[in-house]
Amino acid sequence: MLTLHGFDASNYVNMVKFALREKGLEFEQATLYPSQEEAVLSLSPMGKVPVLETGGVFLSETNVILEYLDDTAQGPALYPADPLEKAQVKQLAKHIELYLELPARRCYPEVFFGGQVSDETKEQTREALLKGIRGLARKARWQPFLAGDQLTAADVFFLYSADLAKAVAGKLFGIDLLAEAPGSAELLARLNERDSAKSVAAERDLAMEKFLKYARGGK
């Protein structure tokens, strides 16, 4: 039995959970928050989530987990068999992570947790997000998914990164980020209508209050 270690409010955990459900795989969940405590580091060397436990081995890093699931499990493929097409999917997923998810994350303290970030950070984030979404618009196929007519790992990264980047751009800069990439808003809506996405969203919403308390130091 696979065990997914993490917490339901994490977008990276939810990428893996979505993939598991798309593939129809049974799995257990164990709550784990990021930490530098030894108990967490023994499972995840950088103290991050998600962690997938399989056969007594603990795998970390979302892209690694998604590829492992695709290599070992039945169900709809997340990566094409053709090496060049697979590389393009991985390129799209990495673009989303590097140029949308990570820049937006710099402003999460202000947008989601009641903190503040510097004006310099905000301006850097604004520029990075606009460059990132415009780059994605140039590279993606939107036919109707990012890499063509089949859902891939790139769409999984998009589903759980684009909404957060959109929230940051809207709240801090008054920008409709997805308007910069025609077809992206429609894709996000289409992905959110999948049964796997609906179940993940319901569990995320239930877990959010507990997570926000944890993120604010228990206050």
Q: For the segment 4-57, what is each residue's pLDDT rounded down to a tens digit?
A: 999 999 999 999 999 999 999 999 999 999 999 999 999 999 999 999 999 999
CB 136 within 8 A of CB 96: yes
**Overall pTM > 0.85:** yes
Give the residue among 164, 160, 159, 162 at the shortest CA–CA distance from 191: 159
Average pLDDT over residues 169-185: 97
Q: What CATH topology corresponds to 83-192?
A: Glutathione S-transferase Yfyf (Class Pi); Chain A, domain 2 (1.20.1050)
**Mean pLDDT value across the chain:** 95
In the chain, % of residues over pLDDT 70: 97
Confirm or reject CATH 3.40.30.10 for domain 2-77, answering yes or no: yes
pLDDT in tens, 83-136: 999 999 999 999 999 999 999 999 999 999 889 999 999 999 999 999 999 999
Instruction: Please give the helix or strand (H or E) that residue 156 lies within, else none.
Output: helix 153-159
Cβ atoms within 10 Å, residue 27: 17
Helices and strands in the chain, H and E counts:
11, 4
CATH 1.20.1050.10 in the chain is located at 83-192
Percentage, residues of the chain above pLDDT 90: 92
Task: Give the confidence band of 217 by pLDDT, cuts at 50, 70, 90.
Answer: low
209 pLDDT tier (thresholds 50, 70, 90)? confident
- Tens digits of residue pLDDT in 135-153: 999 999 999 999 999 999 9
pLDDT of residue 216: 65
Name the 3-class secondary structure at 158: helix
Structure tokens at 4: 């997914």
Could you tell me the pLDDT band of residue 201, with boundaries at 50, 70 and 90? very high
Phi/psi at 90 (nearest 5 deg)?
-65, -35
Numbered ranges of CATH 3.40.30.10 in the chain: 2-77
Cβ pair 5, 61 in contact under 8 A: no
pLDDT at position 191: 98
Decide: 140 and 92 in contact? Cβ < 8 Å: yes
State both tokens at 217: 């130091």
Strand locations in the chain, DSSP E?
2-6, 27-31, 51-54, 57-60
Residue 219 has pLDDT above 60, yes or no: no
Q: Are 137 and 130 in contact (CB under 8 A)?
A: no
Q: Determine contact, residues 155/187, Cβ cutoff 8 Å.
A: yes
